[in-house]
A and B are shown apart, each in its own frame.
Chain A
Amino acid sequence: MGMKNRMSGNEAVAYAIRQINPDVMPAFPITPSTEIPQFVSNMIANGEVDTEFIPVESEHSAMSAAMGSEAAGARTITATSSCGLALMWEVLYVAASSRLPLVMTVVNRGLTGPLNINAEHSDSMGARDSGWIQIYAENNQEVYDNLIQAYRIAEHTDVKLPVMICQDGFITSHAVENIELMEDAPVKAFVGSYEPEHYLLNPNEVMALGPYATSPYCMEAKRAQAQAMMNAKQVILDVAKEYEAISGRSYGFFEKYRCEDADYVIVAIGSACGTIKDAVDELRQKKVKAGLIKVRVFRPFPGEELAKALASAKAVAVMDRCESYSGHGGPLGAELRAAMYENKNTAEAVNIVYGLSGRDLTVEDAKGVYERLSEIAKEGVTDKQYTYLGLRE
């Protein structure tokens, strides 16, 4: 049922957008996501989609126009990276609290300081508390599959939250890889048409959106929004099951790679997981019990499920492609180690910051991490809990 092809991650996203055929796309170019609005503009110019593109003057306006469009009753998508996402920040929260099922494809790139255009998760990780569902991809196949599932999750009546579909800048967005695409018809049938319950242009009722909410109401609104994020867990799994039935590809909150009997486990997000899998394979040949957990869904955070998946590990390295400047590690490190504690998982766990601003993570680097984990399993953490990998000394 699939079609073999080869394309970049950005092309895969554009291909999925063509199949989904959203109503409106406001976007502003920023490296490395620029190709996505370009591809869509070309598809519009050639009549391949009937999406209306809004060439906004900034990402702040991209997210604002996206909000307006989605609220009006149109299925809406946008794309961005890095500082573009940062400029949207304020409106991300407003969109989520307005319970608008927008979808945004994020091509992860470091936030400026210093300016750099390469892969890092500081952009979307910074937005981790904005109320958006976040789903990450290892490669172009996953970003394609994730995007097709996005609206089904966002628009679900138990959820009604915006979704970010993330992939790593350049590493997956620009690298051309083999991919298996779906035919248009099953994708369209899977995604379905958008029939919002309430929207601004409903001729049968008027609607007001974006109130000033005083203390007697505001806290309840936030709690209800938190509930939607909790509800999203089941919906994400259900949608993945349905998607598996038509695609043959299986997805969950995370992927366990050779973890069944693993003593030493790395937990990471994104493209680096492909490299780490190679390291695992090499080590397994040498009878080293190495494993990997690749986190796909970061919001909602599957803390309990992750902690349980790590129940038999002797030592864990949580890898962050993001510095959170807490002085205490990265965001995945902080949240996962807290979840392990809560679930009485007492495996030794360290937090490693790697790959900032596009720095390569090599198979040798990953093997070094497993070596360190084997020492930690024997002797405990003798050096620091929070370290950098691949840093020039």
Chain B
Amino acid sequence: MAGAFDFKEIQEREERLAPGHRMCAGCGGTIAVRNVLKALHPGDKAVVGNATGCLEVSTYMYPYTAYQDSYIHSAFENAGATLSGVETAYRVLREKGKVAEDYKFITFGGDGGTYDIGLQSLSGAMERGHDMVYVCYDNGAYMNTGTQRSSATPMYADTTTTPSGTKSAGKPQYRKDLAYIMAAHKIPYVGQTTFIGNMKDLYEKSERAIYTEGPAFLNIMAPCPRGWRYEAPDIIDICKSAVETCYWPLFEVIDGKWILNYRPKNKLPIEDFLKRQGRFKHLFQPGNEYLIEAFQREVDLRWTQLLEQCEGGC
């Protein structure tokens, strides 16, 4: 592990996701990838994997790649399995003396490729114990195909397959809690984070995930300006609000021990998070107060459960 968090030193590290890719301004996915890769210690080699999605089509459009490391994309639902093959090959070739260098293995998928279509592949790769990190950049919908709901989409979000209307309040279901599912795999490391406080939490969790031996899973809330409907500069305020309302708690599970990384002094009401995004606009129409109340109840319930899980919090 490196020493104390040095923001300047880390940000001055060479970009491993080079500029010139085609991701949107204000995209959380890009911020996630850049910062996770910056947690690789300078000089360490890596192979980066990727599920099909915005990130893939925008960062490796033939004949240009934005990656400074070796990179592999196969399909939508198999980022876990694909990188597990790379990691196995690495162990074998090292054993046989054909590869001498140290490599780290990091794969990225959106929530579509991770929570939904790729869940089996992820579960298998984690259960088998490959020394790799699976990073989900969770923007809460299938953004590459135009904001269709996923199992990570929060309740009541207006998406193109759960539109709000006279007979619909948006997505009817609560979101899946993938970090819990991954923790239930009893892998050495699970972390949940987003972009706050100079990326310190993101950096530290990324570094821990990468340099923990064995499988690690990182869930990063990564807002999408198109799908969430916000102005590009608002992304940091949205992330802060998600944490301060306890909609997106920061926690990690290290060798089975649950650790809450941040507890707001004054837990903000969920409206603070919802009001910043166009996808929840319909919740603020007169008569829809009960929807916000229901949303709040779910946030409170999950927060309480997390506190219990973390044995009283930090």
Interface residues of A (CB under 8 A from B): 23-24, 26, 50-52, 54-58, 60-62, 64-74, 76, 90-91, 94, 98, 200-203, 206-214, 217, 221
B29 to chain A, nearest CB (A): 15
Partner of B74, one of A62, A64, A202: A64
* B68 CB–A CB distance under 8 Å: yes
Chain B residue nearest to A51 in the complex (CB): B92
Partner of B93, one of A23, A67, A212: A23
A206–B91 CA distance with the chains assembled, in angstroms = 18
Chain B residue nearest to A203 in the complex (CB): B101
Contact with A along B49-90 (1 / 0, CB 8 A): 110000011001111010111111111011011111111111
Report whether A214 and B88 are in contact in the complex, using a CB–CB cutoff of 8 Å: no
B293 to chain A, nearest CB (A): 41
- Main DSSP-derived SS at the A contact region: mixed
Q: B284 — which chain A residues lie within 8 A by C-beta?
A: none
* B7 CB–A CB distance under 8 Å: no
Chain B residue nearest to A66 in the complex (CB): B85
A56-B92 in contact given A68-B72, A94-B75, A214-B62 (Cβ < 8 Å): no
Q: A64 — which chain B residues lie within 8 A by C-beta?
A: 74-75, 78, 81-82, 85, 121
A52–B125 CA distance with the chains assembled, in angstroms = 15
Report whether A61 and B121 are in contact in the complex, using a CB–CB cutoff of 8 Å: yes
18 pairs across A/B with beta carbons < 8 Å? A50-B95, A54-B128, A56-B124, A57-B124, A57-B127, A61-B81, A61-B120, A61-B125, A64-B81, A65-B81, A68-B82, A98-B74, A201-B86, A201-B90, A203-B45, A206-B69, A213-B61, A221-B62
* B100 CB–A CB distance under 8 Å: yes
A307 to chain B, nearest CB (A): 37
Chain B residue nearest to A207 in the complex (CB): B70
Report whether A214 and B61 are in contact in the complex, using a CB–CB cutoff of 8 Å: yes
User: Interface residue tally of chain B, by bracket?
Assistant: 35 or more
A206-B67 in contact given A200-B47, A211-B61, A212-B62 (Cβ < 8 Å): yes
Report whether A74 and B56 are in contact in the complex, using a CB–CB cutoff of 8 Å: no
Chain A residue nearest to B50 in the complex (CB): A210
Report whether B84 and A68 are in contact in the complex, using a CB–CB cutoff of 8 Å: yes
A211-B73 in contact given A26-B85, A68-B83, A73-B93 (Cβ < 8 Å): yes
* B296 CB–A CB distance under 8 Å: no
A24-B78 in contact given A210-B60, A212-B61, A217-B62 (Cβ < 8 Å): no
Chain A residue nearest to B101 in the complex (CB): A203
Q: B8 — which chain A residues lie within 8 A by C-beta?
A: none
* B98 CB–A CB distance under 8 Å: yes
* B103 CB–A CB distance under 8 Å: yes
Chain A CB within 10 Å — which of B72, B87, B101, B121 has the most? B72
Chain A residue nearest to B57 in the complex (CB): A212
Q: B88 — which chain A residues lie within 8 A by C-beta?
A: 24, 26, 52, 54, 65, 68-69, 74
Q: B100 — which chain A residues lie within 8 A by C-beta?
A: 203
A6–B79 CA distance with the chains assembled, in angstroms = 42
